[in-house]
Structure 1
Amino acid sequence: MIKCPDCKKLICKKATFCGSCAKKGKRNPNYINGLKHKPRFCIDCNKKVSTTRTTKLPKRCRSCDNKLRWSNLQYKKGISLKISSKAKKRLKIPENNPMFGKIGHLHPNWIENLNREYPVEWTKTFKERIRFRDNYICQECEEHEIKNKQKLCVHHIDYDKKNLDINNLISLCISCLMKTNYNRDYWLVYFTYVTNQEIKLEEVVI
């Protein structure tokens, strides 16, 4: 047994100070600039706030502080402008673009023997008829065209661009249309089933 250098209490050999002296002055985990601060709690979520790495006493935890900061439109705009300006500078050099030179069969989404020509009947008026039939609602996510703030795309269910059968066409928002570029067999079966169910429902109503 040895004595604590501060209060002279007996302590074990492994300890430097006794339990109470070990938390005094600079040895206290909340010691900052000669002051001992009481534990602080976030004013939003009531979690304990760390004060050991800063000279300022924070009111919020890091998570709540980030939420508040990103809710500020000016802060978000400033960050996005910084990022976009850096990205623009980088992409001004064509070779820096990851898709540089990937045209035609070099593109990762290229599909061999896919018909890429639209017939003459494929017009804006024709596509508008399909959107009108679908009530200007995406047939996958059910979001209205007005909410998406852009016209719905008209998708060929069987991926044959020459097949203009109205039962082979369906209205999709751009986000849902992008999904159909992958797992094509799944989307073919899925939308075929959806359109068949709608046709049966119309026949019952009639």
Structure 2
Amino acid sequence: MNVDAAADMTDEVRRGGPAYRLAKVLGVVLGPGLLVSVQPFIVALDQNGDGTLAARLAWAGVILLSCAAGPLAVREIWILRGKVTSGRRVHERTERLAPLTVALGVVAAGVAALHFGHAPADLRALVWAMLAGLLVTRVVTAVWKISVHTAVMAGTVAILVLVVGPWAALATPLVPLVAWSRVRTRAHTLAQVVAGAIMGAGVAYSVFAALT
């Protein structure tokens, strides 16, 4: 057996090990889809926000459809049309550009719905933060594969701190955990996950804080 073959075999064993399987699970459980789905309801349950609880939860449902289900549907349509060849997570950077652009339009429609529907201010701030984060991601992805997973995880923690309070910073270790899972599965490099975390937290915190 030559050196290259031995290295390939070792890599396959490492990929099939418990650490690799855990990393794959974390990538799903702490993935952008779930986090974006949960964020609006956390904000909606904030008792300091304006509007009735029923109305706030209804608007959270609108955000769920436009900012979570919408982009997910766009990705699935791209896969069904055979536009994606790098797996369901769209690992190839260039294959992310078109669905990200369409997703921007879907999220922008959600922003418009909340604005013209006079939704509570904090929920409008949330969708603006989501739109801003997605826009920056699209721009960066044109030249570099920044990590969406760590961007959304870090952004979620930033929103939690602003809505729930400083103790929500206890969730911060989830950011490096997600970063580890993305590097461990070779979905991203260390630089890409770190950049995603910094961008996600910075954009979410600054936009949400400025609008609330």
Comparing both structures, which one devotes a greater share of its residues to helix? 2
Q: Same fold (TM over 0.5)?
A: no
Larger RCO, structures 1/2 (Cα 8 Å, 6+ apart) = 2
- Report the TM-score range of the alignment, normalised by the length of the smaller protein: under 0.3
Larger Rg: 1
Comparing both structures, which one devotes a greater share of its residues to strand? 1
- With the length of structure 2 as denominator, give the TM-score of the two structures: 0.25
